[in-house]
């Protein structure tokens, strides 16, 4: 439905994501990797303001370290939208950045998809759901998942998405989690190169990944903690020993089930009722330094 004529700006939430289950199953002939992953957005994220403009596309951001040139995914998304629709308008984007960069939390992909959705609304919805997904998939493997409202299963290189059943999604929605990231990031490209170099042992067979996921989906009493898996941890943990050291500490001292999200370096832990969040956060900063990012949120 076309928005009223007086609507010329949108303020949109751009959520982070967590891979609560991630199995990289092999490298494709096109250079990408196949995966099976359960991914969910979280309540925490960035804020993107989009305002119609007669002066093309522009981007400002409160994080001065973020590149805001034509390589930024927000501007790439705007150009992709214009190319797909023939839309001749422009927009000013203002990004309040909270999701850390190089974290495996999908910040750039989320920003791009949020920009796509906002432009589509402001332009009178020229793209339907399938067309939006097609454009999003061209921007990045993680982009399509941010068109969904809750936990999904990603397959292929990430472009094939399937919603979880209401029962399975209910075991994830609303769960309290603590996200934390050291001051360093992990390059996604580097992580995948390391996996390819260690092939085939670095990969999980697709049939084994699907069987593990199905076992969790088919057990109505299986808690979210039993789903946790990420075989991208191996190359990251081998190089960045601070990651496994901290996760082991949180397990031994607080009984937390923790994993790395995506290619890292951000990790997360499910928080049981009564978890001493302040003490856990203090311990994280003791081991990773005062500059570590720590944020409590919930699965969306």
Q: Which residues are catalytic?
A: 17, 142
Instruction: Please give the Cα distance from 216 to 218 (Å, whole number).
Output: 6
Hey, which bits of 99-138 come out as E strands? none
SS3 call for 151: coil
- From residue 129, alpha-carbon distances to 38, 116, 121, 187, 197 in Å are 21, 11, 12, 31, 38
Q: What is the DSSP string of 183-242?
A: SS---HHHHHHHHHHTTTTTS--HHHHHHHHHHHHT-TT--GGGG-EETTHHHHHHH-TH
SS3 call for 23: strand
């Amino acid at each position: 439905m076309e928005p009223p004529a007086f609507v010329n700006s949108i303020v949109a939430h751009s959520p982070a994501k967590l891979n609560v289950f991630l199995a990289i199953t092999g490298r494709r002939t096109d250079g990408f990797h196949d995966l099976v992953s359960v991914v969910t957005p979280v309540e925490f994220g960035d804020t993107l303001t989009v305002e119609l403009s007669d002066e093309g596309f522009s981007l400002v951001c409160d994080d001065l370290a973020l590149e805001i040139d034509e390589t930024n995914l927000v501007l790439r998304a705007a150009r992709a939208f214009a190319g797909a629709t023939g839309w001749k308008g422009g927009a000013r984007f203002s990004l309040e950045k909270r999701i850390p960069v190089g974290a495996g939390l999908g910040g750039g992909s989320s920003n791009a998809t949020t920009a796509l959705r906002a432009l589509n609304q402001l332009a009178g919805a020229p793209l339907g759901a399938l067309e939006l997904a097609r454009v999003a998939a061209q921007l990045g493997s993680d982009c399509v998942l941010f068109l969904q409202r809750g936990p999904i299963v990603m397959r292929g290189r990430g472009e094939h998405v399937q919603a979880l059943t209401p029962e399975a999604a209910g075991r994830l929605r609303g769960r309290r989690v603590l996200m934390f990231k050291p001051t360093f990031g992990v390059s996604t490209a580097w992580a995948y190169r390391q996996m390819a170099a260690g092939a085939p042992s670095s990969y999980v067979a697709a049939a084994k990944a699907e069987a593990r996921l199905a076992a969790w989906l088919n057990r109505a009493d299986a808690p979210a903690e039993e789903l946790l898996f990420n075989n991208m941890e191996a190359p990251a943990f081998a190089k960045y020993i601070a990651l496994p050291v901290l996760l082991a500490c949180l397990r031994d001292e607080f009984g937390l089930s923790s994993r790395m999200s995506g290619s890292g370096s951000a990790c997360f832990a499910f928080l049981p009722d009564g978890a001493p969040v302040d003490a856990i956060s203090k311990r994280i900063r003791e081991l990773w330094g005062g500059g570590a990012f720590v944020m409590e949120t919930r699965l969306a």
